[in-house]
Structure 1
Amino acid sequence: MTTSNYATERETTEGRVFTVTGGDWDQVVSGTDPINDERIVVNMGPQHPSTHGVLRLILELEGETVREARSVVGYLHTGIEKNLEYRNWVQGSTFVTRMDYLAPLFNETAYALAVEKLLGITDEVTERANTIRVLMMELNRVSSHLVWLATTGMELGAISIMLYGFREREHILDIFETITGLRMNHAYVRPGGLAQDVPDDAIVKIRNFLKMMPKKLKEYEDLLSGQPIWTERTKGVAVLDVTGCLALGVTGPVLRSAGLAWDLRKTMPYCGYETYEFDVPTHPDGDVWGRYQVRLAEIRESLKLVEQALDRLKPGPVMVADRKIAWPAQLAIGVDGMGNSLEHVAKIMGQSMESLIHHFKLVTEGFRVPPGQVYVGIESPRGELGVHAVSDGGTRPYRVHYREPSFVNLQALPAMAEGGLIADVIAGGASLDPVMGGCDR
């Protein structure tokens, strides 16, 4: 038997082959009789595209029909959760933003909310900081859904939508760069507030984007919704009803496409979402077509939320007043890029010994968090993103674990794929919108 260099399989002297799934590859293969049963076992992935990154699927096929499907994860393991135990609480933002790299601002916000809950300062976070968090998360939701639309279209043969989706996403990344200094992995949302305020030119860019985006959505629908190949590849494909979703812990657009309007922004609001006007889109069919419809509708709702956030953006601080917690940097954009403002450097280096001590201590050691544990869940583009944070009273997390929707939702893939065609595995897997950076954190 030959094995792929990509896989972690190895053959022993007894002829048995062990895999990352627990040493049962030989049992999987021996369970098929290629002469009489005409069944074969194949690897799909890990590769781009189709399996959305380093996801490996083991498929048992009878002709083109999938009889059994197994998901194998872990190829992109980064150890982010473990690394958090060796950095202070503020530095954790720089790590968690890199998990689900298509929704970094959600990773950061969930982490910040958990730390703030441990500190007991949830109500002290300023109104402007919460408004900007909502603004940034909803822009990030739009950009994430655009990547889903672009990549899913490409995988199902609609190549043009790949260009359109990434074209509009580029406008959002430009906005993020203007605000945070980075296109991705921002570390912008910090415990207690934000790294810095939103500049005026970013507001102009956001309003221009709000004017442009509804027309682009209409173009997407004109391109896809009436296209017979698109409807054939999506309608009635990879069906998962509400009962199946709840049994497997599936959340987000996949659950809502099965008809259940479960959205943590409504059911367990945070960051002031209860004060915004927006709907929770649903679809009754629970198939790939329904997930497509729900995500397009969610983009429209996110645009409404962004506009509301802009209208209520009042002047004020973006960090809590407690200087023992507040991030000490006073960032500004200068001739050498982004860094501490010259006024702040002059103060801590030549005018105030207390400011210098505070700056040095908070940057190197961080603040102490009272002992305890909390769980905070927010609604990411892929579903419930939860943070279980544990503190032992020190300056570093004792343990941080993420309930990551990409990881949880992937266990629904066998239920969606088995009994269908091998081509529908691609459509069903794409409709889950898994991001392996979050899955293998």
Structure 2
Amino acid sequence: MTTFAPQIKIPATYLRGGTSKGVFFRLQDLPEPAQQPGPARDALLLRVLGSPDPYGKQIDGLGNASSSTSKAVILSKSTRADYDVDYLFGQVAIDKPFVDWSGNCGNLSAAVGPCAIHMGLIDAARIAKNGVTTVRIWQANIGKTIVAHVPMTEGQVQETGDFALDGVTFPAAEVALEFMDPADEGGGEGCGAMFPTGALVDVLDVPGVGRFPATLINAGIPTIFLNAHDLGYTGTELQAAINGDPQALARFEAIRAQGALRMGLIENLGEAATRQHTPKVAFVAPPADYTASSGNPVKAGDIDLLVRALSMGQLHHAMMGTAAVAIGVAAAIPGTLVNLAAGGEGGKDGVPRQSVRFGHPSGTLRVGAEAAQAGGQWQVTKALMSRSARILMEGWVRVPGNVVEV
């Protein structure tokens, strides 16, 4: 009779953060081989989420068959001065044996502070009994600082509330986030480090697809912004219009690969397949009326522009948090495609833009950014937005014991 290794159980917490869901672990709770980066860690997270699944459903795991719900987070008490917690994010592919560690998840960033408090990773002296606890987060994937403002009631995270977020069915408590110095380091000349080619608008030449004006920006997450009309779209599209069109998805992937090459994220086009999480591709358009996926109307007069973005090869059902940071930063800088779609330098009223409200497939979102020129270069001190987070389940996740024996 064949014998098989029994399952092991690992402490874990399942949370919603913004419009995403993920499985959160404390670093020290992982099996020893998975406490270090490498094949054992990747194999464990793939099995937890139920990947790779050729059926695309992740039935045998905690993933929910979308890029927004196939995510894992590892938290640890920070050893860095002035930080409370180190946060590492893994984007788990659904149909491939691949975990992408190249970027952050802005939505799950909202859950990091509440989860760190719940897991006992924050010094008790820093936790407010009532009011707000400020959690200083080191985002380990990209080496950036996030500050989360977590509401508290009687020493516990306040999760329920009346803060509504389009793309999330039920209201919850608001978690305000500050993404400090969100632009990437290094890059081109003239326009500053956040523009890797040194231009606010480039022309991407994509063989077999076309030539497209594009804003290539490293802020929040590397993002390629295109004009909707250059792609034959209006900017009011919902998921079915894009995700049901294999040829459109192939064109977007070709554009993404060329953009990654121009941004210096990869050295040859073949590497794009192993870097699915970054860069993102988004297309923008001026405001227009449309009906969101919820059935609610979105009026042109209530938004500054339209944005649709792709994540892991599919149009996102709402907006990735890190891409929202990129939108806010690009909207604040005159001459980018995002700024132009929003009406130009000062927006509708001519006042320098410090925030923007954009329409996405599920509704609208407001994001702010503080940008200024210094020495001829654009600099952004921080981007701001609000999300919500909630623990969905806590306990142990089980996987076959031989998973980490790689």
TM-score by length of 1: 0.25
User: Which has a greater percent of strand?
Assistant: 2
For CA contacts below 8 A with separation 6 or more, give which structure has more relative contact order.
1
Which has the greater radius of gyration? 1
